[in-house]
Amino acid sequence: MRKMTLPLLAFLVGCKGEDPFFNRGGSYNEVNDSFVIDSGGGGGDDTGPACGEPGAPVITDHRAAFADYPNIGDVIELGLSFCDEEGDVPGGEVKLSVGVVDGTPSELVDKFDQDGQGEACYIEDDEVICAISGVDTTESYSLTARIEDAQGNSSNEIDATVE
C-alpha cells in the first residue's frame, strides 16, 4: 500500500473558525454510515484507574467509522467514551496516531480549551469526538488514541481499524 502523507495534520492545526465543523455551537453534523466499519477490539494497555477512582481518565468504549461531513467531505469520525472522576478532561488533549494500514502513521495532538473544544475534536457529555479529514475511503486506516486530562494524567490507549 502507498505511504500516507497526511493532510490530516493540516486539518488539525490549520483550520480555524471559518469552517462550519468548528462553528457548530456544541452540536455536530450528521454522518453517513454507508461504509463498512471494523472498530477493532478494546485494544491497548489499560493504564488508567477504574472509573470512579481519582486519577487519569479511562476510555470505556470507542467507535471509528468513515463519515461524510457537509463542506468537508470524507473523514474518519472517532468517538471515545470516557469517565473521569475529576472532570478535568476539558483543558487536556487527545493524542492520535493515524495512518493507512501497513503505512507510516502521523502523530496528532489536539488540545481542548476549558469548554472542551479543540481544532478537530470536542467533548460532548462523556465522549470525545474527532473528525480527521484527508482520508481515502478505499483505504484501510489504523488508529491509536488516548486522552490526557488537564493535569497530564494519561488514559488507557485504544486501537481501532477503519476499512
Average pLDDT over residues 146-156: 96
Residue 60 is predicted with a pLDDT of 96
- Residue bearing the bigger pLDDT, 54 or 135: 135
Residue 118 is predicted with a pLDDT of 96
Report CA dihedral (59, 60, 66, 70) to the nearest 10 degrees: -80
Average pLDDT over residues 140-155: 96
CA 26, CA 73: separation in Å to the nearest integer?
20
CA 136, CA 121: separation in Å to the nearest integer?
20
- CATH topology for 8-23+36-162 is Immunoglobulin-like (2.60.40)
CA 148, CA 154: separation in Å to the nearest integer?
4
Specify the amino acid at residue 150. A
Q: List the grid coordinates of 8.
A: 490530516
Give me the percent of the chain exceeding a pLDDT of 70: 70
Strand partners for 160: 143
Residue range 57-111, pLDDT digits in tens: 999 999 999 999 998 999 999 999 999 999 999 999 999 999 999 999 999 999 9
Count the neighbouring beta carbons within 10 Å of the beta carbon of residue 98.
Answer: 28
Cβ contact 59:146 at 8 Å: yes
Name the phi and psi angles at 99, rounded to 5.
-165, 160
Residue 30 is predicted with a pLDDT of 34
Specify the amino acid at residue 41. G
β-pairing verdict for 58-69 and 158-162: unpaired
Q: How confident is the model at residue 156 (pLDDT cuts 50, 70, 90)?
A: very high
